[in-house]
């Protein structure tokens, strides 16, 4: 991922959340991260193989009857369902005097309109696009913008849904938007042509064309906390997935959404440079998760005066612990504040927190981010993995959150 945090390892350079422009407020330095991969080439009309007895008009008719569209047609029809996403987050950096200064990090990603209800327009994207963002802004096909809120996230599958209030979208803009037509990624075949649309480098919507290079690919992403995220069953494509394309649409030649673009790779673990290897989450794999996230209530971040706390000290479970000992990913409870919210709910030292109020928790930062949407005094269900003999068992406890200022 191209952010100042370097959130994802170079094993797989994220495609990216952030075609990122990082602003260091204290020093007034702006850094643009620009890693550009090559684009795939679409076949021209001259590439169509025809029988000697069949003229080109007949060949074109056969293509049309098969339901195949040109990349131009696919792009025109899909653009109204693809949005740009701009994020702002606040990071900390230690200065030369030993103090800590805050600086703002601006990022760019992509989303796909996948649903609506009476009050909201719902947009699918990657979790790594929106994770940790203090503000979210969405740009539509007519270049209008609106603020958005995180509706829900599934860090394990690198998926998230954000929502825009319909009242913040003009009637004219709404008339130009459309919900993406979902296809069947299980029907994809090697060598099939695909189109990728995304917010490359944060410059706005752009289109690349390529082919399905492989299916059922597995990759491992590692965040800055050492937590491994295994993305499995991915679509590999040589359509260029550039920084800022994360969360964008991978479309078949019927204009149907078959994948959510996630990552690219530029080097192997041994440092060998590679080209044209991008990855997308198949829509058939993502669909159930997205539907669940869309059903969650949309929450705003609470005011600092109402900030909440669980009453624990915790630490992220690293990928090394998961691989060596089979410990579930999440937040391991290092200690519990006596008579605090977690203690009163029955959470114990060495429990591993994996879920809060239906929202997956993969590491300490994700737990802290999730708590920003809940006020002190609210009661939430927390799923913990507790060691029972030689294995971990999931238990759900109800916790009435305490005040963050009281917890220190």
Would you say 382 and 374 are in contact if contact means Cβ atoms under 8 Å apart?
no
* Sign of the dihedral through C-alpha 353, 355, 361, 364: negative
Please name which of 192, 166, 191 lies closest in space to residue 177, comparing C-alpha atoms: 166
The beta strand positions in 50-144, using DSSP E, are 82-94, 100-116, 120-125, 135-139
The active-site residue out of 3, 81, 128, 351 is 128
* Sign of the dihedral through C-alpha 322, 326, 329, 334: negative
Beta bridge partners of 388: 391
The active-site residue out of 206, 246, 308, 316 is 246
Beta bridge partners of 102: 92
Would you say 399 and 357 are in contact if contact means Cβ atoms under 8 Å apart?
no
**E strand or H helix at 334:** strand 331-336
Would you say 83 and 140 are in contact if contact means Cβ atoms under 8 Å apart?
yes
Decide if 128 is catalytic. Answer: yes
Please name which of 166, 141, 127, 15 lies closest in space to residue 82, comparing C-alpha atoms: 141
Q: Which two tokens stand for residue 49?
A: 């193989």
The active-site residue out of 81, 89, 158, 185 is 158
Q: How far apart are CA 121 and CA 116, in angstroms?
A: 4
Would you say 16 and 110 are in contact if contact means Cβ atoms under 8 Å apart?
no
Decide if 306 is catalytic. Answer: no
Q: How far apart are CA 137 and CA 108, in angstroms?
A: 10
Q: Which residues are catalytic?
A: 128, 158, 246
């Amino acid at each position: 991922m191209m952010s100042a945090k370097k959130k994802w390892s170079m094993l797989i350079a994220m495609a990216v959340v952030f075609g990122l422009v990082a602003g260091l407020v204290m020093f007034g330095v702006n850094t643009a991260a620009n890693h550009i991969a090559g684009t795939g080439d679409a076949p021209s009309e001259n590439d169509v193989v025809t029988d000697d007895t069949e003229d080109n008009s007949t060949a074109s008719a056969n293509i049309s009857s098969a339901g195949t569209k040109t990349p131009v047609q696919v792009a025109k029809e899909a653009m109204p369902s693809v949005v740009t996403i701009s994020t702002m987050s606040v990071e900390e950096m230690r200065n030369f005097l030993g103090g800590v200064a805050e600086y703002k990090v601006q990022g760019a990603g992509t989303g796909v309109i996948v649903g609506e209800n009476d009050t909201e327009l719902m947009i699918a994207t990657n979790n790594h696009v929106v994770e940790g963002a203090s503000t979210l802004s969405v740009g539509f096909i007519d270049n209008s913008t609106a603020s958005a809120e995180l509706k829900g996230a599934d860090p394990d599958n690198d998926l998230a849904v954000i929502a825009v209030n319909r009242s913040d979208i003009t009637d004219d803009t709404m008339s130009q938007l459309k919900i993406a037509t979902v296809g069947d990624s299980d029907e994809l075949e090697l060598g099939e042509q695909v189109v990728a649309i995304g917010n490359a480098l944060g410059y706005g919507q752009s289109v690349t064309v390529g082919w399905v290079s492989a299916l059922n690919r597995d990759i491992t992403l590692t965040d800055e906390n050492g937590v491994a995220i295994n993305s499995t069953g991915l679509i590999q494509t040589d359509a260029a997935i550039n920084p800022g394309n994360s969360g964008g649409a991978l479309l078949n030649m019927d204009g149907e959404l078959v994948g959510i673009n996630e990552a690219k790779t530029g080097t192997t673990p041994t440092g060998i440079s590679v080209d044209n290897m991008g990855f997308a989450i198949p829509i058939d794999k993502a669909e159930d998760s997205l539907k669940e996230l869309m059903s969650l209530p949309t929450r705003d971040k609470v005011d600092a005066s109402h900030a909440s706390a669980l009453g624990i000290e915790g630490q992220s479970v690293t990928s090394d612990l998961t691989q060596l000992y089979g410990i579930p990913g999440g937040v391991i409870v290092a200690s519990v504040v006596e008579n605090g919210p977690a203690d009163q709910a029955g959470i114990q030292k060495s429990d591993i927190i994996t879920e809060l109020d239906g929202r997956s928790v993969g590491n300490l930062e994700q737990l802290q981010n999730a708590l920003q949407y809940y006020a002190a005094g609210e009661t939430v269900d927390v799923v913990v993995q507790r060691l029972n003999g030689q294995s971990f068992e999931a238990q759900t406890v109800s916790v009435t959150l305490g005040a963050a200022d009281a917890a220190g």
